[in-house]
Amino acid sequence: MRVRPGRGRNLLVATTVALVALTACSGRTGSPPGVAASSAPAPADTVNRALDDLERFWTATYPTISDGKPFPPIQGGFHPYTQADPPPPCGSEAGVYQPNAFYCPDGDFIAWDAEKLIPELQTNFGQLLVALVMAHEYGHAIQHRLGVTNQPTVVLEQQADCFAGAWLADALAGRSTAAGGITPAQIDSALAGMLQLRDQPGTSATSAGAHGNAFDRIRALQDGVQNGATTCAGYRADNLPITEVPFTQERDAASGGNLPYDEAVDVLVKDAAEYWSRAYPQLTGQPWKELTVQPFAPGSAPECASPDAIADGAAFYCPEGDFIAFDNEQLGPTLYDRAGDNAVGMLVGDLYARAAQHRRGQSTQGDGQLTVDCLNGSWTYDLLHRDARSQQTQLSPGDLDEAVAALLAFGRATAGTGPSGFDRIAAYRNGVLKGLSACG
Ligand SMILES: [Zn+2]
| Strand 101-104 to 109-113 pairing | antiparallel
Q: Tell me what pLDDT residue 204 has.
A: 34
Residues 186-223: pLDDT tens digits? 998 898 888 766 443 333 333 444 566 778 888 999 99
131 Cα to the center of ligand 1, angstroms: 14
384 — pLDDT class (breaks 50, 70, 90): confident
225 Cα to the center of ligand 1, angstroms: 17
Q: Tell me what pLDDT residue 312 has.
A: 85
Residues 239-258: pLDDT tens digits? 886 664 343 333 333 433 35
Q: Tell me what pLDDT residue 11 has.
A: 26
Residue 271 has pLDDT above 90, yes or no: yes
16 — pLDDT class (breaks 50, 70, 90): very low
102 Cα to the center of ligand 1, angstroms: 7
Q: Are 113 and 81 in contact (CB under 8 A)?
A: yes
* Angle at which helices 367-384 and 261-284 cross, to 10°: 110
Cross-strand pairs, 113: 81
Q: Quote the CA–CA distance of 363 and 357 in Å, as a whole number.
A: 6
10 Cα to the center of ligand 1, angstroms: 16
Q: Are 254 and 330 in contact (CB under 8 A)?
A: no
Q: Are 340 and 7 in contact (CB under 8 A)?
A: yes
Query: DSSP assignment of 308-322, as one string?
Result: EEEGGGTEEEETTTT
Q: What share of the chain is helix, strand, coil (3-state, %, to 5)?
A: 55, 10, 40
172 — pLDDT class (breaks 50, 70, 90): very high
Q: Helix or strand or coil: residue 417? A: strand
140 Cα to the center of ligand 1, angstroms: 7
State mean pLDDT over 394-402: 72
Query: What is the number of other CB atoms lying within 10 angstroms of the CB of residue 320?
Result: 10
Which residue in 62, 80, 54, 60 sits closest to 178, CA to CA?
Answer: 54
206 Cα to the center of ligand 1, angstroms: 12
- What's the DSSP call for residue 90? B
Task: Out of 31-45, 372-386, 387-401, pick the least confident.
Answer: 31-45
Residues 357-371: pLDDT tens digits? 999 999 999 999 999
- As a whole-number percent, the residues of the chain with pLDDT over 90 amount to 58
Q: Tell me what pLDDT residue 203 has.
A: 33
15 Cα to the center of ligand 1, angstroms: 21
276 Cα to the center of ligand 1, angstroms: 39
137 Cα to the center of ligand 1, angstroms: 6
List CB-based neighbours of ion ligand 1 within 5 Å: 157, 160, 199
Q: Quote the CA–CA distance of 125 and 196 in Å, as a whole number.
A: 11
The residue type found at 56 is R
Rounded (5°) CA angle 299-368-342: 55
Provide the CB-side half-sphere exposure for 332 (13 A, CA): 25
- What's the DSSP call for residue 100? S
134 Cα to the center of ligand 1, angstroms: 10
77 Cα to the center of ligand 1, angstroms: 18
199 Cα to the center of ligand 1, angstroms: 5
Residue 344 has pLDDT above 80, yes or no: yes
107 — pLDDT class (breaks 50, 70, 90): very high
How confident is the prediction for the chain on average, in pLDDT? 82
Query: What is the number of other CB atoms lying within 10 angstroms of the CB of residue 383?
Result: 21
101 Cα to the center of ligand 1, angstroms: 8
Query: DSSP assignment of 303-364, as one string?
Result: P-SS-EEEGGGTEEEETTTTEEEEETTTHHHHHHHHH-HHHHHHHHHHHHHHHHHHHTT---
State mean pLDDT over 305-313: 91
Distance between alpha carbon 97 and the CA centroid of its chain, in Å?
27
Q: Tell me what pLDDT residue 181 has.
A: 83
Bigger pLDDT: 201 vs 86: 86
Q: Is 246 left (phi over 0), alpha (psi -120 to 50) or beta?
A: alpha
218 Cα to the center of ligand 1, angstroms: 13
136 Cα to the center of ligand 1, angstroms: 6
Q: Tell me what pLDDT residue 391 has.
A: 64
